[in-house]
Structure 1
Amino acid sequence: MLISNLTAADLRINIDPDSLGFSDTSELLTYPLPWIGQERAEMAARFGLEMDQSDYNLFVLGEVGSGRSSLLRQAMQVAAANKAVPPDLCYLHNFDAPERPQALYLSAGQGRLLRQLMARMTKSLQTEIPQCLEGQGFKVESERIEKTYKEEESKNYAELDAFAEARKFAIQREAGHMVFTFLGKKRHALTEDEVLVLPKEHRAEIEQAEQELRAKITSYFEKTRPLERAMNDALAALRRQVVKPLLNHELQGIRDGLKQESKDYVKLSAYLEQVMQDILDHVEQFKVSDTDEESRQGALSKVLSRYRVNLVVDNDGLSGAPVIVEDNPLFRSLFGSIEYQTESDVLVTDFTRIRAGSLHKAHGGFLMLHLRDLLADEMVWEKLRRLLRSGKLQIEEPGTALTPIAAVSLEPEAVKVEVKIILIGSREQYYELQEEDPEFARRFRVKVDFAESFLSSAETRRASSIFIAHACQEMGLPHFSAAAVARLLEGSHREADDQSRQSAIFARTEALVMESAALCRARAGFLVDAADVEAALQAHILRHDYPDQRLQESIAEGDVLITVHGEKVGQLNGLSQIDLRDYRFGFPIRVTARTFAGEDGLLNIGREVEMSGPIHDKGVFILQNYLSALFAHIAPLALNASIVFEQDYYGVEGDSASCAELYVLLSSLSGLPLKQGIAVTGAVNQHGEVLPVGGINEKIEGYFRVCETAGLDGSQGVLIPHRNRRNLMLEHKVIKAVAKGLFHIYTAEHTNEGIELLTGFPIGVANGTGNYPYDSVLGHAQKTLLAYRRACQVQEHPKEGRKHLR
């Protein structure tokens, strides 16, 4: 196939606004927002979100700005609407082990109701229990119990008093103790000094009597203390008997108010029984007292606090499953936490200070996380791995052991959580995870792969227009005319570097929508038109193209040597591209080659000084082998050759210059000059076929600007791979120059076509002996190689009788 000289119509796809089927985007608001060009991802997402089995979590991979997060959030909300509302989660006081609060799942809304009912009950009991204890029936029975005790106690005391009096002792009770004194004549209490002056025999009698009295007092207490205990037990039993019907009524009201189909209803019933027993055990605290009322209220408050309900997850009001997007997955925010307060230099807490994390709140629904956020904290990563393995979530505070003061810690009951995790990451992260942590990766069996581009069609253009319409509505922007949308769609093709494909990175389109709308408003327009979009594109370029501008100035000022007129042997303009992520631009770079007689072969100077990458080095080796194959009939070649990228101070990577390198080598070997106005890009394989390269539009436009500055005379242009034709989405300025014949864009499928264009000589076809015609590029190169061989012929050394090289 001969070389092609493309026409202006080949250089860009132009979208007819009339083909879009609307006048402006306001007409498209009734249509739902579609998954544009992401059918594979949409199908995978729906499959994963509907799978109820474990380990079918979703890993969403794709480029930032592809809509992966927003579209998955939308899909999560749709899937959640068809799922049942999950239960509430409460934490309650554990009467058997207060340091291990118990968890309770109740039907949605029941947690809030239980909290209200328990709060109402505790408030009611503070009024009703004292009333019960002040009732006439209770008073009569308690007085009877006390009277029985007092009668028996008085009888025992009278017996003790008589016993003491018989031994001449006076006895009395003081603060629960017995105090006695010896009585002398006239029943006068003797002091210790008076006792000491008594005769020895008399003192002995007194001591004997005192020992007998002490024994009697001990016997008295042994009799009365069980009586007191019995009285207290009887009074306590009476209080329990009086209060229990009230508690039964209150707790039955709570049971009746809650649905028995709750998952943990049996557990709740057991808890309420414990509440009843605890209230009965502390019913004395409810009794109104005239003495130390403040202390009693404090003790009562402490008791009542045990009956509070800590509703950590409240799903009341939800119409489906929860959808949680956690943008800050810290340990506490993701897995829950326990709050502390300082009391007497000790960190203390209780079950009411337990806080739920995003995983608790997402139980029964969906949780979106970004892998990069998780990898930032090793503790978060390890905890999530354990959760996915066990399905149980334990709230813990790993940092309390490191605090400078003592802490009273809790160990809340672990709960079973069923959460569909949607993990957002890049392709590189996905495959690294597969390699480095296969156990974790196994938990994400659904791969949702977002494409970077998609084939353009009438349907995708319609969907893209709907996206623009919804973006205008959501951000309160003026709507876009069909012509403006057509210009945006052309920009999408340019982003994809493909006339047949659109870019799937809609964040760029959204940014351009906002910037175009701002320009429309600046001119007081009501509808964004194509001129606004074009102006926004040019403004964006102006904000980002300073490096490109400086390089163009360096070329124009002669600091960077680029020749765009005339012909040169062994010299050619290659095309390169710089991608700064927010801006891409192309520029020419001079490629030169020198050849000599020798046996060292091809020298890649960039590789020798470690300024070229492995892909570029691979391309040089390929063209070296291709060159060797062209002249295999005169092998081995007696050749020294060097290739260099002139004024390259940053290094080169990629194989897109291998065509240019081959051409300058052939030019140097053949002595035929190359047209300096035609810049070259393209990779070459071992058969001489020209392969496509990236950044083709930026490369062409960068070289065009150099030629435009130097002066277009109709001889300038670029030679690109034929397979890059569909990648052309060039600026209108370039297209106009091509239409006027001032600039040319040539395509080649084989290197033979390119060298013929650049030299004006045929490449040459080998005859039966393998030799090339004299008046051809390869014929001239063959002549030079034979001359190199003759120059390197060995000669017999006259003294040593051996061969050496000249």
Structure 2
Amino acid sequence: MTLHTLSPAELRLTIDPERLGLADTRELVNEPLPWIGQARAEAAARFGLQMDQPDYHLFVLGEVGSGRRSLLQQMMQDEAGKRPTPPDLCYLFNVDAPEHPIALRLPAGEGRLLRRLMTELARRLQADIPRRLVAQDVQAERDRLLLGFKAQEDEAYEALSAFAEARNFALLREQGRIVFTQRDEAGQPMTAGKALGLSREQRSALDQGEAELRNEISRFLERLRGLEREQGERLVALHRQTIKPLLEHELQAIRAEMRKNIKDSVKLGRYLDSVQRDLLDNLALFQDGNGDIEDTAERLAALAELLARLQVNLVVDNHGREGAPVIMEDNPVFRALFGSIEYESADGVLATDFSRIRAGSLLRAHGGFLMLQLRDLLADEPVWERLRRFLRSGRVQIEEPGMLYAPVAAVSLEPEPVDVDVKIVLVASADDYYLVQEADPEFARRFRCKVDFAERFDGTPEARRASAVFVAHTCARLGLPHFDASAVAVVIEAMHREAADQTRQSALFAHAETLVIESGTLAARRGAALTTADDVHEAQRARTERHNHPQQLLMESLKDGERLLAIEGERVGQVNGLSVVDLGDHAFGFPVRVTARTHAGDEGLLNIEREVQLSGPIHDKGVMILHSHLSALFAHIAPLALSAAVVFEQEYHGVEGDSASCAEFYALLSSLANLPLRQGIAVTGAINQHGEVLPVGGINEKIEGYFDTCAMLGLDGQQGVLMPRRNVRHLMLAPRVVQAVAEGRFHIHAVGWASEGMALLTGTPFGELAHGRFPPDSVLGRAQHTLEAYRRACDASGAGPSDTKRGRSTPRPLSPARR
């Protein structure tokens, strides 16, 4: 391969608007938006979303702006429409265990129906039960029962009175108490004086009679309590017998209203039976008491609590939904994801009940799809651990974890766990994905479907048509003027520039969308009906101007002479390298002087950036590789008696990447051969151990940065850039650079081997080894002559050459770093 000077046509891809097959994007609004350039990701996503087997959740990988989220959401919506509508979820009061509310699944819409029916039931019962309990027939039966018990009580009292009279005692009932008095034989009350006149035998008989009477009174009171208990039971039975048909009728109406084919019909039946039992057990709350205000208030509060237990807590309502749910959870905190239980403070105690249970995204997404961001989950360890348990069990247990650390006592509540069938779509970066694969394989194996979004795609005619459809949809969605064909062509060219490839477009459509928005806004401001190519170019220029202030400061330092840079003439051991400064929102190229000095010694190659910890590991690797190649060129005269130093002049912020290794190689050879290098030709490219020039990143920014520098300092028609041949396809240079090349004011040379570049920079043949020597008039021949002189100098001083030493410092990454 030989040196190749690139023509203007090779410097960028220019798209002919007429070949797009459209006048403007209004023609494309009705075309569906495809997965542009993401055929593999689309197939993987559809496979995963349609897979019904467990553990086939989706891991979606891709860069921010690739459309991974919006495209997956669109597909989830499509797939959800084909799925059946999932059931509602209710929580009900558990009569037998109030701390364990009952979970009930009902067909979509049935939850609202049950809630309405139970609310109406409570309202009707609150009016009907008291009215029924005071009905005439019920009161008549109640009076009959009371009269019967009164007759039995009177009969028992008469028997007790007869028993007392037989023993000379008189009975008197006072406010529920029985008082007796002793009488003499004449039937008169026994006075104290009469009692003192009784004989011992008479007093003994009286005491015995009193004891017998007391025992009889105790038996009477016991029987009376039994009668009262029986009376209460008979009255309760009467009330239950009276109200039970009413409840059975009401609850049967609810059973008839609800569908018979619901999954939890048996559970619903058991719940309604428990409701009937609970109401029958608390009928006393429906009856007026003794009129005491305090007792009445307590009864009404208890009645309200009883009726509140009839309410239905509809935590998931799918009424009116068609198909399955699609939920995008952007705030997956514990409560939002798994549900919660609300508490309120009452008398120093945190209280709650089944009506305060709230569903989270997992419960609401049952039967459908739930999208989460992996980074959000990794930032919250409790949520991560809980999600791991859910994936293992498939069940959601609603709880309030903070109650474990509540400063006051709390009423505990443990709702019934619920089985959940949901397809989780986890959006992640590639780094986070592989982190989980390594750190938590149990979690990762639940996500068997990997959806990998490409960062770029082939720029085929079909892809360009799809890109135009994307522009059309963006304009229609945001109300912007549509784009004519020339404007669409510039947007597609920008996507090629984003990908740094003439044959591929960038898949980061967020950047293209930004350009469409800014261009369309400019067109709208000038009142245009269509956005043109001039609007797009102006938007690009304006965006660069908003972000390039750091670049301008560096350019000013060159213009003011604060940074030394020669762009004309020739210098020994000095060449202009090209770096890229990446600030995140703006990347630009900037030339940096690379210098090298060599002398006799045994230190080998010294990388000054490494020694002062201003270089990263990749840059250090590049320097070591060029040193290996240099050593291999002169292996026939090894060991080398060489001490050399290479440095990026006036670089204070750190260097990373190996794209300057070719420039460093040229500077070293120039110093060894004592041959000057053309300063107007800047160099970029990495070198391997065999002398091949490898492609580098940021090629467009580097060339444009050097061109702008030369344009500022003065173009003389001799300047240019020496770049790797393998980077030619990556060129998407700005029109100003292409125009300068077409006019002969700037030149871009592509090489495949480092030797070709050295010949261009020095105007001297590189040289080939023959019979153990390089030609004396070649670059390598002159370098060999210098190395032999170094050896003789070392031998004369007694310090023979030794193995090359390496810098021992550990490089550290710096930001922003140049590459």
CA drift of 1:417 comes to 0.6
Alignment counterpart, residue 604 of structure 1, candidates 597, 603, 607:
607
The residue aligned with 1:214 is: 214
Distance 1:15 1:216, change over 3 A: same
**How far does the alpha carbon of each residue in 1:461-506 deviate from its partner, in whole angstroms, 9 at most, with x for none?**
1111111111111112221111111111111111111111111111
Provide closer, same or farther for how the CA distance between residues 416 and 179 of structure 1 changes in structure 2, counting only shifts above 3 A.
Answer: farther
Q: Distance in 1 between matches of 2:238 and 2:10?
A: 102
* Residue aligned with 2:309, SS: helix
Alpha-carbon distance change, 170 to 636 in structure 1, aligned in 2, over 3 angstroms: same
Tell me: CA distance 1:153–1:804, structure 2 relative to 1, closer, same or farther (3 Å).
Answer: closer
1:694 Cα shift? 0.2
Find out whether 1:411 has 2:403 as its counterpart: no
Between the aligned partners of 2:260 and 2:630, the Cα distance in structure 1 is: 86
Shift in Å, 1:424: 0.8
- Among 539, 544, 552, the residue aligned to 1:541: 544
Structure 1 position 641, deviation (Å): 1.1
Whether the 8 Å CA contact 2:641–2:801 is kept in 1: the answer is: no
Cα deviation per residue 1:422-460 (whole Å; 9 max; x = unaligned)?
A: 111100000000000000001111111111111111111
Distance between the aligned counterparts of 2:797 and 2:532, measured in 1? 80
Question: Residue in 2 aligned with 1:65?
Answer: 65
Distance 1:395 1:604, change over 3 A: same
**1:707 counterpart residue number:** 710
The one-letter code of the counterpart of 1:117 is: L
Letter in 2 for 1:25: T
Distance 1:746 1:237, change over 3 A: same
C-alpha distance in structure 2 between counterparts of 1:426 and 1:547, whole Å: 29
Look up the match of 1:559: 562
Aligned equivalent of 2:784, options 767, 782, 785: 782
Corresponding residue for residue 150 of structure 1 = 150
Cα offsets for 1:126-181 (capped at 9, x unmatched) = 22223332333323322222222111111001222333345555544455443445
- Compare 176-185 and 515-524 and name the one that shifted more: 176-185
Give 1:318 shift. 0.8
Q: 1:703: Cα distance to partner? A: 0.8
Structure 1 residues without counterparts, runs of 5 or longer: 797-802
Q: Note the 1:184-333 alignment, pairs <5 A.
A: 207-289=207-289, 291-292=291-292, 293-333=296-336
Deviations 1:247-302 (A, max 9, x none): 11111111111112211111111111111111111223223457244433222212
Moved more, 718-727 or 285-294: 285-294
**Residues 9 and 163 of structure 1: is their aligned pair in 2 closer, same or farther, counting only changes over 3 Å?**
same
Structure-1 separation of matches of 2:370 and 2:734: 44
The 5-angstrom pairing of residues 355-394 of structure 1 reads: 355-394=358-397
Q: CA deviation at 1:206?
A: 5.8
CA contact (8 A) 1:794 1:805 kept: no
| Deviation for aligned residue 1:196 | 9.7
Q: What CA distance in whole angstroms lies between the structure 1 residues aligned with 2:177 and 2:81?
A: 74
Alignment match, 1:791: 793
Equivalent residue, structure 2, for 1:106: 106
Distance 1:548 1:388 in 2: 50
Distance 1:747 1:220, change over 3 A: same
Normalising by the residue count of structure 2, what TM-score does the alignment of the two structures yield?
A: 0.94
- Among residues 668, 679, 684, which one is paired with 1:665 in the alignment? 668
Deviation digits for residues 5-61 of structure 1 (CA, Å, limit 9, x no counterpart): 111111111111111121111111111111111111111110110111111001111
Query: Equivalents in 1 of 2:721, 2:729: separation in Å?
Result: 16
Amino acid at match of 1:458: P
One-letter identity of the residue aligned with 2:535: D
What is the match of residue 678 of structure 1? 681
Matches within 5 A, 1:102-181: 102-167=102-167, 169-181=169-181
- Say if 2:522 is the partner of 1:519: yes
Give the 3-state SS of the residue equivalent to 2:78 in structure 1: helix
How far is 1:188 from its partner?
Answer: 8.3
Q: State how far apart, in whole Å, the 2-side matches of 1:701 and 1:172 are.
A: 121
- Equivalent residues of 1:433, 1:441 under 8 A apart: yes
Q: Is the 8 A contact 2:118 2:310 kept in 1?
A: yes
1:439 aligns with 2:442: yes
1:644 matches 2:642: no
CA distance in 1, matches of 2:53, 2:634: 65
Structure 1 counterpart SS, 2:305: helix
Deviation of 1:681 after TM superposition, in Å, equals 0.3
Distance 2:473 2:187 in 1: 110
Q: Deviations over 1:584-607 (max 9, x none)?
A: 011011101111112222111112
How far does residue 231 in structure 1 lie from its aligned partner after superposition? 2.2
Distance 1:613 1:559 in 2: 26
Q: Which moved more, 1:133-142 or 1:695-704?
A: 133-142
In structure 1, what is the Cα distance between the partners aligned to 2:84 and 2:408? 45
Equivalents in 1 of 2:580, 2:606: separation in Å? 24
Percent identity over the alignment is 59
SS at the partner of 2:483?
coil
- Whichever residue aligns with residue 118 of structure 1, its letter is M
- Any residues of structure 2 matched to 1:74-113 within 5 Å, and which? 74-113=74-113
CA contact (8 A) 1:487 1:533 kept: yes
Residue in 2 aligned with 1:576? 579
Rounded Cα–Cα distance in structure 2 between residues aligned with 1:736 and 1:264? 76
| Structure 1 SS opposite 2:750 | strand
Answer yes or no: is 1:761 the counterpart of 2:761.
no
Counterpart-to-counterpart distance in 2, 1:417 and 1:486: 49
Counterpart Cα distance in 1 of 2:224 and 2:175: 15
Contact residue 642 and residue 801 of structure 2 kept, 8 A: no
Q: Which runs of 5+ in 2 are unaligned?
A: 803-819
Q: Do residues 621 (structure 1) and 621 (structure 2) align?
A: no
State the match for 1:734 in structure 2: 737
Contact 1:195 1:203 in 2 (8 A): no
CA RMSD of aligned residues (A): 2.1
1:795–1:805 contact (8 Å) kept in structure 2: no
| One-letter amino acid matched to 1:590 | R
Q: Distance in 2 between matches of 1:601 and 1:593?
A: 13
Q: Secondary structure at the match of 1:788?
A: helix
Secondary structure in 2 aligned to 1:406? coil
Q: Tell which deviates more after alignment, 472-481 or 653-662.
A: 472-481
Question: Could you give the per-residue CA deviations for residues 533-563 of structure 1, whole angstroms, max 9, x where no partner exists?
Answer: 1111111111110111000111111111111
1:308 positional shift: 1.3
Instruction: Tell me, yes or no, if the aligned pair for 2:596 and 2:668 is still in contact at 8 Å.
Output: yes
For each residue in 1:611-640, what CA deviation from the matched residue of structure 2 results, as whole angstroms up to 9, or x when unmatched?
211111111111111111111222222211
The alignment partner of 1:577 has SS state of: strand
The C-alpha deviation readout for 1:213-271, integer Å capped at 9, x for no partner, is: 32111110222222222222222222222222221111111111111221111111111
Deviations 1:375-428, CA, capped at 9 Å, x for gaps: 121111111010001111111111112111110110111111111111111000
Partners of 2:298 and 2:758 in 1: CA distance: 103
CA distance in 1, matches of 2:797, 2:470: 79
C-alpha distance in 1 between matches for 2:690 and 2:119: 86
Q: What is the DSSP-based 3-state SS (H/G/I as helix, E as strand, rest coil) of the residue aligned with 1:621? A: helix
Give 3-state SS (helix, strand or coil) of 1:59's partner: strand
Cα pair distance change 1:795/1:26, threshold 3 Å: closer
**Matching residue within 495, 499, 502 for 1:496:** 499
- What secondary structure sits across from 1:342 in the alignment? strand
CA distance in 2, matches of 1:182, 1:460: 119
Q: In structure 2, how many angstroms separate the alpha carbons of the residues matched to 1:111 and 1:537?
A: 55
Distance in 1, Cα, partners of 2:63 & 2:209: 103
Partners of 2:694 and 2:351 lie apart in 1 by: 71
TM-score with structure 1 setting the length: 0.96
| CA gap 1:152/1:565 in 2 versus in 1, 3 angstroms | same
Q: Provide the residue aligned with 2:340 in structure 1.
A: 337
CA contact (8 A) 2:791 2:801 kept: no
